[in-house]
Structure 1
Amino acid sequence: MESLGALNVFAQAAEAGSFVGASRRLGVSPSAVGKAVARLEGRLGARLFHRSTRSLALTAEGGLLLERCRRIFAEVEAATQEMSLAQEAPRGRLRISLPLAGMLLMPTLSAFMRDYPEITLDLDFTDRVVDVIEEGFDVVVRTGEVSDSRLMTRMLGAFEHRVVGSPDYFERVGHPLSPEDLSRHACFQHRFPSTGKFERWPLYRGQDFVGDDLPATLSASTLEPLIYLAERGHGLACVPIFTVRDQLASGALVSTLTPFMKSTGKFRVVWPSSRHPMPKVRAFVDFMAAELKLGA
């Protein structure tokens, strides 16, 4: 703390251009400023100012030290502000990017809104890769891994996929007994809007992937129409369990080929790195991690 105090005296003298000006800012005598700078120079073994009766100019070493001081005090100020903010109640606008499947997380988001009425949500649904910092997002929810060192990340939960159809569909067409039987079924495919490719059905026999060359009776860039049409008996969809939890519980949809399913996906929440996240960000991250049940 003594070193920080000496650095502050030095920085004030450099900014003011004189010991007298620094003394007015700090509320001490000019001689006290001069002595503090002299002691600092002694410890550093370098001259920080060119002194004359009329002016005070930084040496090259003094200029380098002033740059460092500015960064140090900016960090101290930022840390102080963050700690102050951390004590505040969560409030304000929270800009969130979610995948298109995130529409199916609306019940969880609705519960968050009830618990935090002073937070206003600004939701952006897209499957493209967003630049969290450049595009000004407070929080981003995505599947997969995160490698950006500028971001903090927390896993919300893992989930598996299921091939589902309605009882009426299975009564008419029958259950597939193996992945190869799907060639005789109406299969609804999820198409990634960013690439145009179909999301593969994670079907395995042992370690061998056997989910290739499935029919594409219908394709869509979001999951909702696939689930809707599967509920109404038009075919089969392969979707994350959490998107059809209610339908499976009520019997509106039934899963099939479960022994051949192998996928485990992960939902992560990421946000700009900070020692002390804004209260609204911390509230959202903690709430989603606690409330979002992605399993069966």
Structure 2
Amino acid sequence: MDYNAVSMFVTVAQVGSLSAAATRMGIPLPTLSRRIMELESDLKVQLLERTARGCRVTEAGSRLFEHASGGIEALQEAERSIMSEQARLVGRLRLSLPQSFEPWWELLGLFQRAHPDIQVSVYSTERRVDLFADGVDVALRVGAIADDTVVARQMLTFRHILVASPQVVERHGALNHPTDLSRYPCAAWGSTLDARPIWTLGGHAHKVSATFTVNDYLHLRARALAGDIVTELPSFLAAEHLKKGDLVELLSEHPFPDTPLNLVYRRQRHASTIVRAYLDFCSTHLSIIADKCKAPFDA
């Protein structure tokens, strides 16, 4: 049984509404609704009855609420006590983030609201900074970590997806296999001016004859939306435009590989209190961004 989902259920039962519970907990309503349905599926019982004015607990839900609410309240009190202590942290936190990694922006905002006395300085770059030389406390890094001077804490994995506008697909025909990309104008991410991009699709590497390269995914997204090119994007940068139909996913049966996302910090005997607070906060609140980082076919 997912105890985080139980905590969500208890909050819904207390306020009598999924939307009000989502607001109180600071999570998207669809995420809350899905987690409750998964809990009901795990327990093989209906816990909530949806009504015009909100929802009410079933008989089985009442039994679960009776047993769980006391424990949840005790844990919440412990959390409030700990957060109260952490809120008094004062100092500066120096972070490095990949460019355009939008889901993490929300997490940083929540962190600063929880710790208003911590000054956060962010250096956004596509290069892998040297934590010691650049004076960075914690870096968010995409990809495998092969550096024994740092400690890595894996947060999650995500995938890139191949996208284009419907107009591009209409002009150039159906795309059934990665070899068909030769008929399409392609653009790719590249860290140097002479980059020779390679896309790994369905476990096979394919050289990309890119008409355009840039080290900025927002620029690639703009060109895709303009109907100019086919390109790869992190799933979270494409999600809303896929829903609206401005972009379509291509070659979903030949997916990009999973990409790990890690927080890395300097290897030393004791991490600072502020660094530990940031690492623990990100781990605790990771569900806020986890769904956003899922590719459409993983949802």
Q: Choose 1 or 2 for highest CA Rg.
A: 1
Tell me which of 202, 208, 214 is aligned to 1:220. Answer: 214
Q: Which residue does 2:180 correspond to in 1? A: 181
1:211 aligns with 2:206: yes
The structure with higher relative contact order (CA 8 Å, sep 6+) is: 1
| 1:133-172 equivalences in 2 (<5 Å) | 133-172=132-171
* Distance change (3 Å), C-alpha of 1:118 and 1:172: farther
> Is the 8 Å Cα contact of residues 200 and 206 (structure 2) preserved in structure 1?
yes
Q: Which residue does 1:19 correspond to in 2? A: none
Q: Distance in 2 between matches of 1:116 and 1:88?
A: 5
Q: Which residue does 1:117 correspond to in 2? A: 116
Q: Distance in 2 between matches of 1:110 and 1:146?
A: 26
Structure 1, residues 228-272: CA drift from partner, whole Å, max 9, x if none?
A: 111121111112213323222333321110111241111111112
Structure 1, residues 63-86: CA drift from partner, whole Å, max 9, x if none?
A: xxxxxxxxxxxxxxxxxxxxxxx9
What is the aligned length?
Answer: 206
1:292 aligns with 2:289: yes
Q: Which residue does 2:245 correspond to in 1? A: 251
Which secondary structure does the structure 2 equivalent of 1:129 belong to? coil
- The AA in structure 2 aligned to 1:258 is S
Tell me the CA shift for residue 101 of structure 1: 4.2
- The AA in structure 1 aligned to 2:248 is V
| 1:40-79 equivalences in 2 (<5 Å) | none
- The AA in structure 2 aligned to 1:278 is S
Which ranges in structure 2 are unaligned for 5 or more consecutive residues? Answer: 1-84
93-102 vs 218-227, greater mean Cα deviation: 93-102
Q: Distance in 2 between matches of 1:122 and 1:184?
A: 44
Which ranges in structure 1 are unaligned for 5 or more consecutive residues? Answer: 1-85
1:264 aligns with 2:258: yes
Which secondary structure does the structure 1 equivalent of 2:276 belong to? helix
Tell me the CA shift for residue 164 of structure 1: 0.5
Q: Which residue does 1:72 correspond to in 2? A: none
Tell me the CA shift for residue 90 of structure 1: 3.5
Which secondary structure does the structure 2 equivalent of 1:260 belong to? coil
* Distance change (3 Å), C-alpha of 1:101 and 1:199: farther
* Distance change (3 Å), C-alpha of 1:150 and 1:252: same
Q: Distance in 2 between matches of 1:180 and 1:170?
A: 15
Please, what is the CA RMSD of the aligned residues?
2.6
